[in-house]
Amino acid sequence: MRKKILVLGNSNVDFVFKIPRFHHPGETILAESLVTFFGGKGANQAITAKRLGGNVHFITKLGNDLYGKSYRHHLIKNGLDQKLILKDKKLPTGMAVIELTPKGENRIIAFLGANGSLSVNDLKRLERYWKGVDVFVTQLEIPFSTVEKGLKMAKEQGALTLLNPSPPVQLPSHILPLVDFIVPNEVEAQLLTGIKWKGDREIRKMAEKFLDQGVKNVVITLGSNGLFLKNRSEEFWMEAFRVNVVDTTAAGDAFLGALASGLIENKPIQEVLKFANGAGALATTKLGAQPSLPSRRDLNMFLKRIEVGKTKRS
């Protein structure tokens, strides 16, 4: 039987405002364009894992509105099981306002909407879908009690658990021992550990702090500076791939989805992280969250091209 990835998380409709620069408090600026995309960290991660060929199940909640209807349709079209796409009768579908500069940098404001009512009871009702889960992935744009329950249910199944602590909230100490891979970016790692980031030394200290709190593996993503992995037996830095950045939205989600896919294939950790690193890089080359998530074919071709490039230079 094919190994199973279960993603628990939010779905948002993203409103992307292309702006010339980030503006100041009290200042009004005009956007050059406004485009709408399907997004939300949970959905982005699930769709990446699916596009990379995984047997993916995705638990999420949409609103009882037009956005919810078309999002449901979109998820089903992407091969996700409609029985796990829940509906809140009163709250609107989750939304995000994304400010995007010409450098591809973004600032995001998310409104939880229906994502905020994805509850522990919902998970209990879907208990049968947890059977035989191999890799479990979640983030923090749904209620924390639901994240916690999800981690526990996954551990009861003996699954490998991945937590993307975004947006960062103070994590209670009993949660971290349930986490096999914590994957924050440097800003989130700084907020979660209270260690101010000045350079590599602090990144290592942040990772050590997570390990001391019971996490098994720490992957800190560093944007254009690559990533750092640390566990009890190894640590290494990995450089980022150089690409033409259009929009960094969902790069972290592509990384998470690919990490889950790589881990399920039992590849060595260096190889898995290279795969995830490639997915993250590719996701920055296109506008919008979900249009930018790579397929297995695109990612393999990208990684191959990089290898050929390396051989030619050496």
Active centre residues (catalytic): 253
To ligand RIB, the closest distance from the beta carbon of 313 in angstroms equals 33
To ligand RIB, the closest distance from the beta carbon of 45 in angstroms equals 9
Q: Which of 115, 15, 13, 108 is nearest to 67 (CA)?
A: 13
In terms of CB distance, is 72 or 230 closer to ligand RIB?
Answer: 72
In terms of CB distance, is 44 or 277 closer to ligand RIB?
Answer: 44
Q: Point out which residues bind ligand RIB (CB under 6 A).
A: 10, 12, 14, 39-41, 44, 96, 108, 110, 141, 249-250, 252-253, 289
Residues 6+ apart with CB under 8 A from 164: 41, 45, 137, 138, 139, 140, 183, 184, 252, 253, 256
Determine the 3-state secondary structure of 307 from DSSP.
Answer: helix
In terms of CB distance, is 5 or 289 closer to ligand RIB?
Answer: 289
To ligand RIB, the closest distance from the beta carbon of 234 in angstroms equals 28
8 Å CB contact between 110 and 76: no
In terms of CB distance, is 41 or 50 closer to ligand RIB?
Answer: 41
Query: CA 111, CA 107: separation in Å to the nearest integer?
Result: 14
Determine the 3-state secondary structure of 149 from DSSP.
Answer: helix
To ligand RIB, the closest distance from the beta carbon of 87 in angstroms equals 19
Q: Which of 101, 97, 109 is nearest to 22 (CA)?
A: 101
8 Å CB contact between 228 and 207: yes
Query: CA 94, CA 104: separation in Å to the nearest integer?
Result: 23
Residues facing residue 269 across a β-bridge: none
What strands, in cross-sheet order, belong to the sheet with 235-238? 85-88, 55-63, 4-8, 133-139, 160-164, 181-182, 217-221, 227-231, 235-238
To ligand RIB, the closest distance from the beta carbon of 126 in angstroms equals 22
In terms of CB distance, is 73 or 201 closer to ligand RIB?
Answer: 73
Closest chain position to ligand RIB (CB):
39
